[in-house]
Structure 1
Amino acid sequence: MADKQAQVLDGVLAPYLETLKADPAFARLAGGQEEDFAPDGTLSVQAPAGIRPALGAALASIKPLVMVVPSQRDAEEMVASLRSWYPGDPSSIALLQAWETLPHERLSPRADTVASRMAVFRRLVHPKAGDPLFGPIQLLVMPVRSLIQPIVQGLAEVEPLVFAGGEDLPLEQAVERLQTASYTRTDLVMDRGEYAVRGGILDVFVPTAAHPVRIEYFGDTIDSIRAFHASDQRTYGEDIDQAWATPCRELELNEQVRTRAAKLVGHIANADDMLESIAQGIPVEGMESLLPALVDHLSPVETLLPQKASVLLSDPELLRRSAEDLAKTANEFLAASWHVAASGHGSGAPISFDQASFLDYDSAVESLTQGQRDVYKLTDLSVDPSLQGQEALGAQTPEEFRGDENRARAGISGLIEAGSEVLVTAAAQGTLSRLRRALEASGTVGITYIQSLATDGFVDPKAGLALLTERDLTGHSSAVAGPKATKRRRKAIDLSELKAGDFVVHESHGIGRFLGMRQRQVGLKASKGTREYLVIEYAPPSAGLRPTSFSCPPTSWTR
């Protein structure tokens, strides 16, 4: 249902790209005609957040686009907005997610996150025009964390395991490749990343899919592929033409990795159990922490990006701050956790983690300017277009009305009197209808109402266009009516969004109320570091008892 609704909203704002080209600066940038770049190969562009998806969609019509934003949430909102602005195929828009864990942490990123990333890597390096699974990516959005985290060299070369009806793929070979791709064999498939074999039937739950699929064999030939519900194991719907079993881990359990893991048993403190499982081809929690010991080379994500792409860095100041905070946290945790792991086995980390650590932000940006890429730094800060390497769009951030009908009427009337076409948009049709009734009741007329996935608006007097979103008018946004994130059954906690009093759910302790954050010392002596914990208050188990509080690392919580 949500997917169908999102398809209706694809490209609904694209016709207004021509209107925006009445702004000379937008026309130059959108047409790829800007050549006055700074000596470092970048161009600073003053552009409010609302017009950035429009600029990105226009640039992507000329050549591939890569957009880097501060956080995962920003990336998801940007992808949604781009879908409404982009006039081309919406399936060519992709999101490169970031791990939820630190590179050295003995916790694995979610299987759905890894599978999504692996799909992006393959499509970047080996695109196949017209292929529904491996089609080229024209617009790639990523949080800065994805940019600065190195990946295993050659990930994009991992041969994809595709099940196609009528094709020959021996069941034994399929099982072996699923095991190499870090799928877990079970008796009954319930969770993503699992598979089960019963006679000539293979059940697989691909992490990026909404439901698992049942593959029935006739000899070595795939006879049929159908989706089924994990709850009752019953198939439903029509036959599926093909299914791509994307890997669940970014460490392929091939023969080389398994052999190296076997040789390292007994040589890395507190890692024997993990190494023994890897040596047997069994995926284990936290095995990514051993990447530097199990693979020869890690490389920057930049090496997979198109050499002739346009690169948009959204709010470089925030990108730098986010990258520096990530690197600091990762280094502190590395020093503390591995010192504890190595206690009694000598001092210091038992293996070198330099190549797996987050990259320096400036070095990552500098690498983006290599080749024939145009790098644009989009900022809200003022720039001087008369100077080399600086450009300013005529767009401005709209006034925030925050539900005040009188202010909204006066502000919108002023825009119309100044000659701007005013568009009011919201993701949900019901929300848009309520906004329309409220504005019309206040006497505001002359507005065009469009349902779209745009999250932020702008006012561009030079182009004669103003876009006002639900966030601009009311101060908040309802749920985006884009494609549902079927890859996630639970919303992972975002510490920056938590406020005192919010309810959170712990995987073992249940529901509690968030009180705040607390830092604790971890590690020994010179290797001491700090780690943040959530402090949660629980309701009393019976009358007359005081509430209890509990603290736990953020990775155990959801909202």
Structure 2
Amino acid sequence: MKDLIPFSQHPSFQSLLAAVKGHSDEVELIEVSGVPLALHEDLIATVSSEAEAGVMYAERDAHELRNYLETVFILELSGRSLSELVQLLINHEYSQNARVDSIGEFAVIGDILQIWPPGYEHPLRVSYFGEDFESAAFYDEIYGKQLHTAQTVLIGDLRAFESQALMSALSIPLTHQRAAASVVVFGGEALGQEKSRSIEFDFAYPSLYFRRFELLERDIERYARSGFEVCIYTSHEDILPDSLQKFVAGKTEELDAGVLSAQLNLLVLTDRELFGTVFLSRRTRHISSTQARKLLAELEGEIEIGDYVVHEDHGIGVYEGIKQETFEQKISLGFNEFKTNVIYEDYLVISYAQGDELLIPLSQIDKITKYIGPDDEEPRITRLGRTEWATITRKVKESVAAMAKELVEHYARRSLATVDPVPTEISPAMEEFLEAFPYNETEDQKRTEKEVYLDLNKNKPMNRLIVGDVGFGKTEVAMRAAFKVAETGKQVAVLCPTTVLAAQHLKVFSERFKGSGFAVAGLSRFAGSGRSVIEGLEKGTVQIVVGTHRLLSADVKFKNLGLIIIDEEQKFGVRQKEKLKTLEVGVHVLSMSATPIPRTLSMALSSIQEISLIQTPPEGRKSVDTIVARLDYQKIADAILAEVSRGGQVYYVHNRVQTIQSVYDKLQKLLPGVRFVFAHGQMPSARLEQVINDFYAGTYDVLICTTIIENGIDMQNVNTIIIEQAQNFGLGQLYQLRGRVGRGERQAHAYFFYEGEDVAKEDTPEEEIILGEKLLKQKRKHQKYKERLRAILDFQHLGSGFNLASRDLEIRGAGNLLGREQHGNISQIGYGLYMQLLAQEIERLKQLTDYE
């Protein structure tokens, strides 16, 4: 939005910039008024960009915030040793934990210090060599990905906060290495502080018109006569009267609301003002992972002593085993005589924080589930007798209720819609299309195909999800459904989350539909603007379109859309999913996913979505030969030569964009006769497309790439994949990458090269005694990669995606399908309890909907 609102032209902006850039030993408070909430982030982004330093700001004013800001100072990270910085954090009331999960915490893990100061959207990772500073960068606390490097941060005394609630009112852009020596307080009420100056803007929200265009026209003419520049940004230009068309400046999703400024002579209007749509700030704060997720697990044989467990009513603790308690029961025999019975009762023993212990009768075992987290970090144990757990579960229940309501309402809207049934009879053209398929169908494919045909034959829109292992024929079933729908004169949209996957699907659909008479076209970043495609969709001359979220743009209109095929829907963003929902009403929807669906999620969604499983491999498919070894470039060279010498091609996965060129240079020197090329997602789209197409055509022998190949690239001549630094990948990722090869009848090979201790090496009893329990636990935590690489070796048979690492894949599947926005909720109470609440709420709302 900062590019659409000329902040820097406002007279007050220069005053603000001068105040921010003014060098000071102490952090200065700047009170800013006359800026609506929707403009806070963008004004600060502009100021920070001009000042070349991140400016911290408070979205509202409060005594408690002022008290904290009085203590804030700029910390030069390179100027402190590890022990000095740790002591500083302790003195400023930061809480030390095993890992950083929320604001106000820090953790020391070897030579790495993690800190999460107030105001920062993500925590900071500071690396040391011994005591000496090496580097610092902010990172994504859920996925661990590095975001932006840092040289300075703003630190203050946390004792000023009476609660954590106000910490979320502070923010600072992370895109600058240094922090400015200024803090902006919006809506400043001059609370008697001397260290602040005031700057006033005149930005305001315009009036809401609720489609009353006659009032809007009158006001716009008045502003225009007064010399105001009037800009309208709308996704519904066709609704506006002709007299307003000249003011339309285009479409944008960056503007949450319009703005009015007399000093800038500017009036900006959006759909919020034109139609009175609900104002939602696009800046949604990231929910941190305060605890990890878990999976509903059968208790028998699953929980061992020392494992983390979750009690529905009391939270996370450690299972200590079964304890038998004895009770004496006095039974009166009359005449003042008593008989004493000894009663033996078995209890599960769970230990909690601060040495508390809870005895759970075996009759309440259904309240306990095994705790399984999303990563290798240990969870925070709950403190008994506090309201913390009750507060967490109450908040999550509210969120679950909102999500369930949304799911059920969407289902209800779709179920009310009617569609023309698609005949189940096979036409001669369809017969020809089926015969052109070069492979024999598996039983699962036949069953799924029949289920899809039956869905299409109803007068209600289909809503089916096909879940199948990589390369098991989901796309063929989808293409048959597309053919059936296209035969009825309706259009088909195939939606993909990435340009690479869209380009791959376009190739497959184009080849499969050659000679069918149906026009297949692409619309994505690779496909350019696609003006002719958009016109073809509107006129009906394009029957099947394959594309990314570009298909959801306002300028894309279908003449007669009948079916949407969605590949890996869980990878789309929240905004795209919302647009998709409006498109789906009254249209058949067929989704595909290679991520196994958790059993509990499947149960929760079963009443509102049909699910088909394809679990049997295609005929003639061989399992991929899997080799796990320490990093050895001679072995890598041998593997590449072995594949190239039999006329095949190789994927070489190196997941760091910064060093991919050096790996390319190294391999070219090592194997001068082999044709190498590299690709990654940060390349210009035209170059990326060219590289993928050239590799597909056989111009190169080896594609060195990041994990852009994890989903969707299907090249049957590529039958060797080499993954470098395999210890850094999750089990689900390793499995998905292995699935990229072995798509034909030729024997495929997957090499997982790692750095670290030998995967096969186990700790000896002597080592366990020497290290002691604490150090041994730390060592094993850092070597979890051994378990992952052993698991990938153990599960080499076809279809093992539905058995391999239920812990890793099922959690991954749940998080993806529900969307990242629910990650925080799942992590706070655990996966099992979350699913239970969701299923109950869906069922309750579904019954109400059906009753009505």
Question: Hey, which of these two has a bigger chunk of helix by percent?
Answer: 2
The question of a shared fold, defined as TM-score above 0.5 by the shorter chain, is answered with no
TM-score normalised by length of structure 2: 0.26
Please tell me whether Structure 1 or Structure 2 has the larger radius of gyration of its CA atoms.
2
Structure of higher RCO (CA pairs closer than 8 Å, 6+ residues apart): 1
